Amino acid sequence: MSLASLLSSEQIIPEMQATERWPAIVELIDLLVAQEKIDPASRDGILAALKQREETMSTGIGFGIAIPHASSEAVTEVVAAFGRSSQGIEFDALDNAPVKFVVLFIVPKNQFQTHLRTLASIAKFLNDRSVRDRLAAAGTKEEILAVFEERAAK
């Protein structure tokens, strides 16, 4: 499963307002609610699941990347959002560096394999330094999406 298949330009924030982990997660969830990818009635439950996951261990995996994720009965397919921060977000990442790229995704409950495959795919994609450099240089959400789409076509 590629990020390109999970994202549209409306699910991308080219410059996040948040400077800390929890407000960044809320900013992306609110985007998904605004785009009708998440039912407003499910927002708080999904945020609680994400918070529970973050309290276990930060999803800031290093190299300026964070992948907050959770499973929920409130979604019937994988939903994702991408946010970029040029100033960096304090995310309590494993390498203690600020996070520049946040990929948040929610997987339907009881789809464990889908959850693992999605997580692995995102981590592998963002592990490529040239991808991170191109995402950082992209000017618009459309240009960011093009980086995802180009990589998916390979």
Annotated active-site positions, please? 69
Least Cα distance to 60 among 29, 31, 85, 34 occurs for 85
Least Cα distance to 130 among 98, 96, 154 occurs for 154
Rg (CA), the chain: 14
d(CA 128, CA 61): 13
User: How many Cβ atoms from other residues are within 10 Å of residue 53's Cβ?
Assistant: 16
User: Taking a C-beta distance cutoff of 8 angstroms, is the pair 123, 64 a contact?
Assistant: no
Cα atoms in the 13 Å half-sphere on the side-chain side of 77? 5
